[in-house]
Structure formats: C-alpha cells, structure tokens
A and B are shown apart, each in its own frame.
Chain A
Amino acid sequence: MKDLLRLRTSLSETIEQILNDQIKMEAEASAMYLAMSSWCDRNGFDYSAGYFKKQSDEEREHMLRLFKFVSDMGGRAVSPSVSGTQMEFESFRSVFEQALQQEIAVTQSFNRMADKCQKEKDYVTFTFLQWFLKEQIEEEYVARRALELFEVIGEEGTGLYEIDKRVPKITYEDTYED
C-alpha cells in the first residue's frame, strides 16, 4: 500500500500547520507595522513612519520566505487573511512598546517551532528556521533600542522630535567589538 501521507511532501501535517500559522503571524506583523507607519505619518513623526514602512516590508519578506519553503517542500502554503489591524495608538512611545512586544512574540513563536521540529525529527525545517532565529536577535535589538531612546533622550521639549530623527539610524552590529 502506498504511503499517501508522504507522496506529495516530506513535511508532516503538524509542521505544515505551524509553518502556515507563522506565515499568518508574519502577515499580521507586516500589517501592524504598516498601521504604525500610518499613525506616525498622521502625527508628524516622519522618520518613524519611514522606519515602520521598512519594517513592514521586512515582515512581508519573512512571510514570503516561509511561504516559498512550504511550497518548495511540496506542502500547501496558505495565503493568509489579515483583518482587524489596530489603527490607533495611545502615544508615540506606545507604538514602540507594541513593536517590541510583537518582536518578542515572534521570537517565542520561532522557538516553539524549532522545538516542535526537533520533537518531530524534521531537521530540514529545523535548519531552515536557523535564519529566522538569528534574524530575531537583530529585530529584537532594534525594537528594544528604539524604545530605549525614550529614556535616553526624554520626551520633554523637542525630545519626541529628536527620538523620531534617531529611530531610522539604529543599526545592529553583528560583531562582538561594538
């Protein structure tokens, strides 16, 4: 009797499902960053609007990377529906707080995926996930640093204006010297 479960793909049903869940999460993150970009734009934070637009593009790229992997492995990649994206935020600071929270949630999600891959002995997907795990170090760093600007510069006077200007300049150095 043929093995129908593996006739089209080596991905197990569980792994295909968690990859599709992650595709959805990345799409939602992309939509959320775009909404943040819009909020910043509407409230005069020009530089941060550009920063969040770039972040939104990055999240979409992550989504497509996952999407391609599922398709390449013969799985069924699902184009996700995204609705109910939050459009309003309490303050400029709360936007960055939410961005950091989102990045931490994504890191935790990739950790759970890696754990699941090990349990299922799916080392192909596990190896594929390494790129994302590494990427999350940078994503979290940038989000955390942006939020820290509120403490370092302060929100009084022209503080918010200075923070806005500094946000796009945050870079992550992947060396131990810096």
Chain B
Amino acid sequence: MMHTATQLPEIYTSEAGAVYQCDRHNRLMLSFAGELTMLKLDAFLRLKHAVDSIDLAAMASNPDRSSDFSIITLCGCDRCFVLTLTELHTLKELLAGAKFVLELNRMLHECLAPSIV
C-alpha cells in the first residue's frame, strides 16, 4: 500500500507545494495546486525540463489571451498541467528546489558510500 504524502520523507517544500520521495516505490510525489502526482524520476526530470524551457518573460509580455496559460503534458505522467504564469513561476521554483536536494542527497551518498563499505 502506498504511504500518504505526509508520511513520506520530504524533499522540498515551498508555499506553493511540496515534493516527497517514496523509497519503497522509487517515486517522487508532487503536491501542487491541490493535487498529488506520482512521478518516476525520469518523468520528474522531464517535467522540470518542460517547465524550465517555458519563457516566462515572453509569456508575460505577450498580449494574447492564450499566452496567460501553458499546457504541459508529459510522457509517463497521467496528469495534464494547465498552469497560469504565477503557477508556472512557483512550480519552477519548487522543482528547482527539489532537484537541488536530490543532487545534494546524491553527493552525500557518494561521500558516505566508501565509509559504509
């Protein structure tokens, strides 16, 4: 049975949401805009890449009504993200924070691994 998000180790939290890690299923859990999304690491990295590649400044300066939103669909994720400029900005920050902690965790593993053996 899957843990609830609150029982899982927290990777990163911001005012907009949180990212948790499920070690049992090797998944990341994204809590954002009132919804929980389970992501494999691959999908998480793809989501980060997709969000990072959106030009927020161009969106903000574009007078078209359609430019107020961006739709992100991902392979390996059953959720379709329809996000406003503000949401994109906060999600970008959240994902960057989570990625940073994952990298930090990787470095710790690398440093500690020899002493474990």
Contacts and interface: CB of A to CB of B under 8 A. Distances in A.
B9 A1 contact: yes
Contact of A1 (B23, B41, B103): B23
A2 B26 contact: yes
A158 to B, nearest CB: 54
What is the interface residue range for chain B against chain A?
Answer: 10 to 19
A3 B42 contact: no
Q: Is the interface of A mostly helix, strand, loop or mixed?
A: loop
A7 B41 contact: yes
B72 interface: no
B18 interface: no
Nearest to B28: A4
A5 B105 contact: yes
Contacts of A13: 45
Shortest 10 CB-CB contacts between residues of A and residues of B = A3-B109, A5-B106, A2-B23, A4-B41, A3-B106, A1-B9, A5-B102, A3-B105, A6-B106, A1-B105
Given A1-B23, A2-B26, 13 more contacts: A1-B21, A1-B105, A3-B105, A3-B109, A4-B21, A4-B26, A4-B28, A5-B106, A6-B106, A6-B109, A7-B26, A7-B41, A8-B41
Interface of A: 1-8, 13, 76
